[in-house]
Chains A and B, each alone.
Chain A
Amino acid sequence: MSENNAMTLAPKKSFLKRNLPVVSTAGPISIWMIIFVMLPLLYILFISFMSRDVYGNIEYTFTTDNYKEMIQPLYLKVIWKSLKLAFLTTVICLVVGYPLAYYIASKPSKLAAKLLMLVMIPYWTSSLVRLFSINQLGMPNGFLNLLLLKLGIVSEPVDFLFSDGIVIMGLLTAMLPFSVLPLYSSIEKLDKSLLEASKDLGANPAKTFIKVTIPLTMPGIVGCVLLVFIPSLGMYYVPEMLGGGKVMLIGTLIKNQFLMTKNWPFGASLAILLILITLAMMWIYTRVGKLDELEVG
């Protein structure tokens, strides 16, 4: 009976059967991204070819001026600076986050879950209040200075506020979970027996780490780089709050176009540029890092 049925419906059924896994897995996310990312992006792309009228509203006449406008040293400098800062943040987060993720993953899973929770809890509080606390701590009459004065390490208050060092520390605190989480989920599945094997074969720990551990956890490192670098590129909030409001990053520039200057078309074209830069970086990154192989692996 059933065989008969299968026979008659064979072509149709096999087509569905062949496609069911793809549709049921990739389908929802595709629909979601098309509706909530691609459609809004089309709107941004559309207004990037419009212009600003005298009162700051959008004038619906086609122009490519916005794209010509942004190719000048001033804006390229801003983009370069954002790239540098994002790169620096990524490197620091990787260097600080990898050992921590490794540490957590090396614990029994019960403990690891708790340790991971402990990393995340601070980030469930308002980032604004956290940044305010960092400011409070560094004030001339803040706890840090009080402590240093009491201990006699310094004779007068040190100026801790608004230095590059503080900004970098702030970025590290802000982005750390973005590096620890992907690293953890990848290190966790690391096959410990391979490390033992490497050791037994006479490799020293450093060699084992470089030749075995790093390649095996590469997907996590890739995830960490993506999740730290990309958001850092568009971020401006932390550098602004901790840098004394004197920074101009691509994120600030775009925000200013939309809110302060009300030049939405120019802001939109800058956003498109930012997206193109990101996609280009990803393209280079996947080529150099041969990520395709990794992901298919």
Chain B
Amino acid sequence: MKMRKKFLALALSGLMVFSLAACGGGGDSGDSKDAGEVNVYMWSDYMSQKMVDKFTEETGIKVNFSYMSTSEEATAKITSGGGEQYDLVMPCDADMTGLIKGGYLEEINLENIPNLKNLGDAYKNREFDPENKYAIPYFMNYVYVIYNEKTCPVEIDEYKDLLDPKLKGQIASVTGIRNLFPVALVSLGYDPNSTNDKEIKEAYEWLQKYVANVTLFDSDSAEKLIINGGASVGLFFDGQASRAFDAAENLKVAELKDAIQLGVDEFVIPKGAKNKENAEKFLNFILDAQNMADNMQDDHLYSCPNEAAVALMPDSYKKHPAIDIPTKMKENYFLQLDIGDAAKTYDKYWTMLMSEENQ
């Protein structure tokens, strides 16, 4: 009797698992039958829920968000075949060439996206996508230097100043091969996307000195250090910088003579997406000047390629210290372009760089 009870319990729990599993599986494939939805894979808290609600209200299309932890991971998910689950994915511009050449993306039907005109000219028909068939920019980020007026021991107007030994243990910094090597290459007077072995080696030597000054490498939350007094200089994305400005005083943007990096978060439609037309409708909706302006006012302080929307923004945005950087700096930018086989060389030097430290 007891034995039977136990067995029953076991069988029941097993059954539960399977029905649960079946439920999960069924839900995934079943829900997409009614065409009224679009599945978006992007950062969390990177889009205003109000705007999304408005879109759903106007079109009846439901928007499902899934969240990625790095844009590289999003790219890897597309290239390993998991892209067709989504209708819109947000990799960054640096990964675009590989995605396009690998045939991982659907062509976007521009006839469905008249609002493309709202984008600044610099953000349309770019080198990796000359006919603008694959990628629609959403937000973008400059990488620049901010410092604490009170505690920073040196003046900074070019990248070379970051190598000053006085800054030892004073820098909080973004990380990654493609964020740091270009800084060194620009400082040395080379092409930021150089594929020349000798130049990359020199950049590596430059970075050796830089790494010695850095206390924290973190592309997501290194700003916490400059806010709490653990660092006096930060090489940050502007999103990090804007959070730092909002949370701490005495911070300033360094007016750099060197070119700064501009990264763009792109929306792409992965190959095999089930709701391509809805995705295009959604893209057109967010490219609308007023919609994008509303989106940005809802607590999203990022630089935006949608110039028509930026024009509609209030001064609290336009004059924000993290957004209102000198025009001369904004114009003097470079992009991450595909570096082909040189990626392996960079990687080797990066491994060297990171394994020397901390010995």
Q: Which residues of A contact B (CB under 8 A)?
A: 52, 54-57, 74-75, 77-78, 81, 132, 135, 139-142, 157, 159, 161-162, 164, 243-248, 252-253, 256-263, 266
Contacts of B348 in A (CB 8 A): 74
0/1 interface trace, chain B 58-97, chain A, CB 8 Å (1 if under) = 0000000000001011011001000000000000000101
CB pair B73 A259 closer than 8 Å: yes
Known pairs A55-B97, A142-B228; A244 contacts B355 (CB<8 A): no
Residues on the A chain within 8 Å of B178, using CB: 260
CA distance A77 to B341 in the complex (A): 24
Inter-chain contacts of B229 with A (CB < 8 A) = 139-141, 157
Find out whether the CB atom of A139 lies under 8 angstroms from the CB atom of B343. Answer: no
List which B195-240 residues lie within 8 A (CB) of chain A.
211, 214-218, 221, 224-225, 228-230
- Given A55-B98, A57-B101, A140-B229, A74–B73 Cβ distance below 8 Å? no
Question: Which residues of the partner chain A approach B120 to less than 8 Å between Cβ atoms?
Answer: none
- Does B316 belong to the interface (CB within 8 Å)? no
> Is B6's CB within 8 Å of the partner chain A?
no
Asked if B2 is at the interface of the complex by the 8 Å CB criterion, the answer is: no
- A135: chain B residues at CB < 8 Å are 224
Enumerate the 3 nearest inter-chain pairs by beta-carbon distance, A residue then B residue, closest first. A245-B217, A259-B72, A248-B355
Known: A74-B352, A142-B228, A159-B169. 14 other contacts (CB 8 A): A54-B338, A55-B101, A55-B102, A75-B351, A78-B351, A78-B355, A140-B229, A162-B216, A243-B358, A244-B216, A245-B217, A258-B76, A261-B344, A262-B95
Asked if B142 is at the interface (CB within 8 A of a chain A CB), the reply is: no
Q: How far is the CA of A164 from the CA of B359 in the complex (A)?
A: 10
Assuming the contacts A54-B341, A57-B79, A262-B98, asked whether A244 and B228 have C-beta atoms less than 8 A apart, the reply is no
Is the CB–CB distance between A259 and B70 below 8 Å?
yes
A74's partner among B211, B216, B355 (CB-CB below 8 A) is: B355
A129 vs chain B, min Cβ distance (A): 12
User: Complex formed: what's the CA distance from A132 to B101 in Å?
Assistant: 39
Tell me whether B115 is interfacial, beta carbon within 8 Å: no
Task: Output the nearest chain A residue to B71 by Cβ-Cβ distance.
Answer: A259
User: What residues of chain B lie closer than 8 Å to A260, measured between beta carbons?
Assistant: 72, 176-178, 347, 350
Are A246 and B343 in touch, CB under 8 angstroms? no
Binding site for A on B (CB under 8 A): 70, 72-73, 75-76, 79, 95, 97-98, 101-102, 169, 175-178, 211, 214-218, 221, 224-225, 228-230, 338, 340-341, 343-344, 346-348, 350-352, 354-355, 357-358
Contacts of A245 in B (CB 8 A): 175, 216-218
* Chain B residues whose CB sits within 8 angstroms of the CB of A164 once the complex forms: 358
**Interchain residue pairs with CB less than 8 A apart (24):** A52-B344, A54-B340, A55-B340, A56-B95, A57-B79, A57-B101, A74-B355, A75-B351, A81-B355, A139-B224, A139-B228, A159-B230, A162-B216, A244-B216, A245-B175, A245-B218, A246-B214, A246-B354, A248-B351, A256-B351, A259-B70, A259-B76, A262-B343, A266-B344
- Cα A43 to Cα B100 with chains together (Å): 24
* Bound form: Cα–Cα A135–B221 in Å: 11
Chain B binding site: helix, strand, loop or mixed by DSSP?
helix
Chain A residues in 8 Å Cβ range of B352: 74
Interface-central residue, A52, A56, A74, A243, by most chain B CB under 10 Å: A56
| Pair A161/B216 contact, Cβ less than 8 Å | yes
Instruction: Provide the residues of chain A in CB contact with B230, threshold 8 Å.
Output: 139-140, 159, 161
Beta-carbon nearest neighbor of B79 in chain A: A57
Q: How far is the CB of A291 from chain B (nearest CB, A)?
A: 31
Q: How far is the CA of A157 from the CA of B225 in the complex (A)?
A: 14
Query: Could you tell me if A248 and B354 are in contact, using CB atoms closer than 8 angstroms?
Result: yes
The answer for the CA separation of A62 and B55 in the assembled complex, in Å, is 50
Residues of chain B within 8 A of A140, CB atoms compared = 228-230
Candidates A55, A139, A141, A256; contact of B350 at CB < 8 Å: A256
Interface of A is mostly: loop
Inter-chain contacts of A243 with B (CB < 8 A): 358
8 Å CB contact of B358 from A247, A253, A258: A247
Chain A contacts for B347, CB-based, 8 A: 256-257, 260-261, 263
Report the bound CA distance from A159 to B221 in whole Å: 18
Contact residue among A74, A157, A246 (Cβ-Cβ distance under 8 Å from B351): A74
Contacts of B351 in A (CB 8 A): 74-75, 78, 248, 253, 256
Shortest Cβ distance from B354 into A: residue? A248
B317 to chain A, nearest CB (A): 28
Give the shortest distance, in Å, between B205 (CB) and chain A (any CB).
Answer: 16
A101 to chain B, nearest CB (A): 28
Cα A162 to Cα B354 with chains together (Å): 15
Chain A residues with CB under 8 Å of B216's CB are: 161-162, 244-245
Report the bound CA distance from A47 to B135 in whole Å.
29
B357 contacts across to A, CB distance below 8 A: 246
Report the minimal beta-carbon distance from B62 to chain A, rounded to whole angstroms: 28
What is the CB-to-nearest-CB distance from A163 to chain B, in angstroms, rounded to a whole number?
Answer: 10
* B175: nearest chain-A partner, CB-CB: A245
Q: Which of A74, A247, A259 has the most CB of B within 10 A?
A: A259
Using CB atoms, name the residue of chain A closest to B338: A55
Which of A77, A161, A245, A266 gathers most chain B CB within 10 Å? A245
Decide yes or no: A141 and B228 within 8 Å by CB, A259-B76, A263-B347 being known contacts: yes
> Which chain A residue has the least Cβ–Cβ distance from B350?
A256
Give the docked Cα–Cα distance between A52 and B75 (Å): 16
Q: A75: nearest residue on chain B (CB-CB)?
A: B351
Q: Which residues of A contact B224 (CB under 8 A)?
A: 135, 139
Residues of A within 8 A of B175 (CB): 245
Alpha-carbon separation in the docked complex, A188 to B346 (Å): 53
User: Nearest CB to that of B358 among chain A residues?
Assistant: A246
Contact of A246 among B102, B176, B177, B217 (CB under 8 A): B217
CB-nearest residue of chain B relative to A142? B228
Using CB atoms, name the residue of chain A closest to B228.
Answer: A139
- Asked whether A244 lies within 8 Å of B215 as measured between CB atoms, the reply is yes
Q: Report chain A residues within 8 Å CB of B225.
A: 139, 161
Q: Which of A57, A159, A256, A259 lies in contact with B98, CB distance below 8 A?
A: A57
